[in-house]
Amino acid sequence: MPEGPAPAPVIQRLRVRYAKRGRLRFTSHRDISRAVERAVRRAGLPVAISAGFTPHPKISYAGAAATGVASEAEYLEIGLTETRDPARVRADLDAALPAGLDVLDVVPAAVGTALADRLAASEWQVRLEGVEADVVDKAVRSFLAAHEIEVERLTKKGRRRFDVRAAVSALELDRRAMTDAAAPCAILRMVVRHTNPAVRPDDVLAGLRHVADLAPPSPPLVTRLAQGPLIAETGGLADPLDPDRQDSDRDTSDRQAALGAAGAQVIGQEFLRPGGAVDAGVVSARP
């Protein structure tokens, strides 16, 4: 082990939701990590440092989107050696990051919880240029009617075949988004469970090509809209930071209650004379 004092311990953990927009969607995860570390230093945040021969800031990422994919729901966690106001951290960190990496929310992490455990699925929007909506709608119906759709993809372990149908809990044309689009296109909305191997939007498109010969003439524009726990009743996603907010609200309520009780105790003591006798003037002043 290296000599010298041990690093300062983590006093507060903050969970951050940020967006990856515009040209920044082509930035690699390594470059995003470096940009975040620089922004943390510029914002003056007291980030904790790991021990060992290669110390590094205690910043961890959960469920990062692939290079080339835009996202409105990326998450990281920062360990701080001092307690800071989450709203102030959000503003300072957002100002220090480059345009296109935008901080959307910062909350204190609930003790003893893992953010990655809550990221069970992702909601995606996939924009397809040069394809008629009716053609895509027919392909979607064929996809949903199938019990199993196998696709093949090159992975680090070689080529693998896996079922994409089981991972897709929702798939539809997003007609509202198509109405708002500046140019004619077909826009898909899909909710995909996080599985092993991971099923990505391009795997779903490969499944659509397999069952309905859907082949857009240009690469799709993919944006992750959300990720979090899957709501079985609706098929939508819950906000993964909600449990942290609820825990923070309980802590705030407990602190306020404790302060109120302490204040009442002080006031009560002021009503007592030395020796514990009640001040009659105070008592008689009550209605």
Q: Is residue 117 exposed (0-12), middle (13-18) or buried (19+ Cβ within 10 Å)? A: exposed
Domain co-membership, 56 together with 82? yes
Rounded to two decimals, the pTM is 0.84
Domain co-membership, 123 together with 113? no
Tokens representing residue 21 in the block: 């927009």
Domain co-membership, 48 together with 84? yes
Domain co-membership, 66 together with 112? yes
Is 246 part of a structural domain of the chain?
no
Spatial CB neighbours of 260, under 8 Å, sequence gap ≥ 6: none
Which of 55, 90, 117 is the endpoint of a domain?
A: 117
Which range of residues forms the domain containing residue 30? 12-117
Q: What is the pLDDT of residue 155?
A: 81
Q: What is the pLDDT of residue 284?
A: 37
Lowest-confidence segment of 2-6, 52-56, 231-235 by average pLDDT: 2-6
Query: pLDDT per residue over 75-108, tens digit each?
Result: 999 999 999 999 999 999 999 999 999 999 999 9
Which of 82, 99, 117 is the endpoint of a domain?
A: 117
The enclosing domain of 92 has a CATH number of 3.30.70.580
Q: Which helix (H) or strand (E) holds 253?
A: helix 242-270
Q: What is the pLDDT of residue 53?
A: 85
Domain co-membership, 134 together with 164? yes
Which of 117, 148, 166 is the endpoint of a domain?
A: 117
Spatial CB neighbours of 18, under 8 Å, sequence gap ≥ 6: 74, 75, 76, 97, 101, 102, 103, 104
Domain co-membership, 76 together with 20? yes
Q: Output the CA torsion 191→35→46→64 (10° steps).
A: 20
pLDDT band of residue 253 (cuts 50, 70, 90) is low
Domain co-membership, 46 together with 93? yes
